[in-house]
């Protein structure tokens, strides 16, 4: 790795599908100190998209082509389908490259622990891309909790709901365990990570999981209840079958509650082709990750937000760029990455317990917490 101050760190990207093209490539390119160098995609059409969007990057057809360039790279990013996360991360670490893996880090916590052990043995960074720690609403909620505005939180409700009643196909809807399909591991990875980030280890898990869409072979409608070691109870919903969407957050404390509807705007902006710092926004959208006032949550006690109760809380701007800025800092200084492999493994332990709970119809205990 070239740690010379002012010299950009060169990034190789495995995959240029949704994760690679919408999230990782744009965020890497927008980060001071990082430059996109190599992109793996077998699709000639996507290779042309890479050349058009990132003229200084080299598209290659196979993972081995990127690994053959390991001596010129400073970081590998795995943004390919879930079944490839562990083998590609392993190969990159063995080639001497620090690695970022899109969530979930692995199919199981045991695999995540093995990856972490390999990274530690090689003295290399390993991080999982849990970008939704930098959602606008989540950043706002963390600030409210830190400031004591809610008092002692006793219940945390969090939803990631969609109305997608028709299957789209592809590996995310595959029943093959190697594909790690279904919403529990897809959207649930975000929700569980957020809950653990806010309230710490979990001692018990209860879950309900269903495949409700016609022809679905994987879960598409889930509920997960967690009890944290500190006493907070978390309720999580993740579904593709919600014709009416519930609040993104409903958080209850001894002093006040916070209710927030709507999703962070950054994914929609990235999908639309906007990039952090490109100046393409106008008005209320000029600041990256900013939410309009109509989307702000409300804070209050004994009142209904639906009737204007509570006070509007200005949302902090979302900040996905902070993740890769933290990765660059960690590579330069040796400090921990913004999301550690141990944190990603803890999320996987909860998800595994949730899957077991749903299958067996019982509460699953997690010992001293995970």
User: Are both 156 and 46 inside the same structural domain?
Assistant: no
User: Are both 283 and 298 inside the same structural domain?
Assistant: yes
User: Are both 193 and 223 inside the same structural domain?
Assistant: yes
pLDDT of residue 64: 98
274 CA to centre of own chain? 19
Query: Is residue 3, in this structure, part of any structural domain at all?
Result: no
Q: The CATH number of the domain where 23 resides is what?
A: 3.40.50.720
pLDDT of residue 284: 46
User: Are both 277 and 328 inside the same structural domain?
Assistant: no
User: Are both 30 and 117 inside the same structural domain?
Assistant: yes
User: Are both 251 and 233 inside the same structural domain?
Assistant: yes
CA proximity to 50, closest of 90, 17, 94, 72: 17
User: Are both 146 and 271 inside the same structural domain?
Assistant: yes
Residue 304, Cβ neighbours under 10 Å: how many?
11
Token pair for 258: 């916070």
pLDDT of residue 369: 55
121 CA to centre of own chain? 26
CA proximity to 139, closest of 256, 330, 297, 252: 297
Helices (H), 147-246: 183-199
Could you give the CA distance from residue 172 to residue 169 in angstroms, rounded to a whole number?
7
Residue with tokens 């003229």: 55
Residue 33 lies in domain:
9-131+322-335
Query: Is residue 341, in this structure, part of any structural domain at all?
Result: no
Query: Is residue 60, in this structure, part of any structural domain at all?
Result: yes
User: Are both 188 and 159 inside the same structural domain?
Assistant: yes
Q: Give the pTM.
A: 0.93
User: Are both 211 and 121 inside the same structural domain?
Assistant: no
Per-residue pLDDT of the chain (370 residues; tens, 9 = 90+): 555 557 899 999 999 999 999 999 999 999 999 999 999 999 999 999 999 999 999 999 999 999 999 999 999 999 999 999 999 999 999 999 999 999 999 999 999 999 999 999 999 999 999 999 999 999 999 999 999 999 999 999 999 999 998 988 887 877 778 778 899 999 999 999 999 999 999 999 999 999 998 888 888 999 999 999 999 999 999 999 999 999 999 999 999 999 999 999 999 999 999 999 876 654 445 689 999 999 999 999 987 756 767 899 999 999 999 999 999 999 999 999 999 999 999 999 999 999 999 999 999 999 755 6
Residue 180's alpha-carbon distances to 23, 86, 117, 352, in angstroms, are: 20, 12, 22, 11
359 CA to centre of own chain? 25
Residue 162's alpha-carbon distances to 131, 187, 307, in angstroms, are: 19, 10, 25
Query: Is residue 345, in this structure, part of any structural domain at all?
Result: no
Count structural domains, the chain: 2
pLDDT of residue 188: 96
User: Are both 25 and 125 inside the same structural domain?
Assistant: yes
Q: The CATH number of the domain where 210 resides is what?
A: 3.30.360.10
* Helix H or strand E segment including 275: none
Token pair for 278: 């490109």
User: Are both 25 and 121 inside the same structural domain?
Assistant: yes
Which residues partner with 127 through β-bridges? 100
Token pair for 85: 């996360």
User: Are both 160 and 50 inside the same structural domain?
Assistant: no
Per DSSP, the residues of 59-120 read EESSHHHHHTTGGG-SEEEE-S-GGGHHHHHHHHHHTT--EEEESSS-SSHHHHHHHHHHHH
Residue with tokens 């906007």: 274
**Cis bond before residue 190 (omega within 30° of 0):** no
């Amino acid at each position: 790795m070239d740690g010379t101050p002012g010299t950009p760190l060169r990034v190789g990207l495995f995959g240029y599908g949704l994760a690679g093209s919408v999230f990782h490539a744009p965020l890497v390119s927008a980060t001071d100190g990082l430059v996109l160098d190599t992109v793996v995609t077998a699709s000639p059409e996507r290779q042309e998209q890479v050349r058009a969007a990132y003229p200084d990057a080299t598209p290659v057809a196979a993972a081995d082509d990127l690994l053959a360039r390991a001596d010129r790279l400073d970081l590998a990013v795995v943004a390919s389908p879930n079944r490839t996360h562990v083998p590609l991360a392993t190969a990159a670490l063995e080639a001497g490259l620090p690695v970022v893996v899109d969530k979930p880090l692995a199919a199981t916590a045991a695999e995540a622990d093995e990856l972490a052990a390999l990274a530690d043995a090689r003295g290399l960074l390993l991080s999982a891309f849990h970008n939704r720690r930098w959602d606008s609403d989540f950043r706002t909620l963390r600030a409210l909790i830190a400031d004591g505005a809610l008092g002692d939180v006793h219940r945390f409700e969090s939803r990631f709901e969609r109305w997608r009643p028709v299957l789209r196909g592809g590996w995310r809807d595959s029943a093959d365990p190697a594909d790690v399909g279904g919403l529990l591991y897809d959207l649930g990875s975000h929700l569980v990570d957020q809950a653990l980030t806010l309230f710490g280890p979990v001692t018990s898990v209860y879950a309900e999981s269903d495949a409700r869409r016609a022809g679905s072979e994987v879960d598409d409608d889930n509920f997960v209840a967690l009890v944290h070691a500190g006493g907070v109870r978390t309720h999580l919903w993740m579904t593709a079958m919600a014709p009416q969407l519930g609040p993104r957050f409903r958080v209850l404390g001894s002093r006040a509650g916070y209710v927030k509807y709507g999703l962070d705007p950054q994914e929609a902006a990235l999908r639309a082709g906007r990039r952090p710092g490109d100046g393409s926004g106008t008005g209320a959208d000029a600041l990256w990750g900013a939410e309009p006032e109509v989307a702000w949550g409300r804070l209050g006690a004994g009142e209904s937000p639906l009737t204007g109760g509570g006070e509007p809380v200005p949302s902090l701007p979302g900040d996905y760029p902070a993740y890769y800025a933290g990765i660059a800092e960690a590579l330069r200084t040796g400090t921990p990455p913004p999301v550690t492999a141990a944190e990603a493994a803890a999320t996987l332990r909860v998800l595994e317990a949730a899957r077991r709970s749903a299958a067996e119809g019982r509460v699953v205990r997690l010992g001293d917490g995970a």
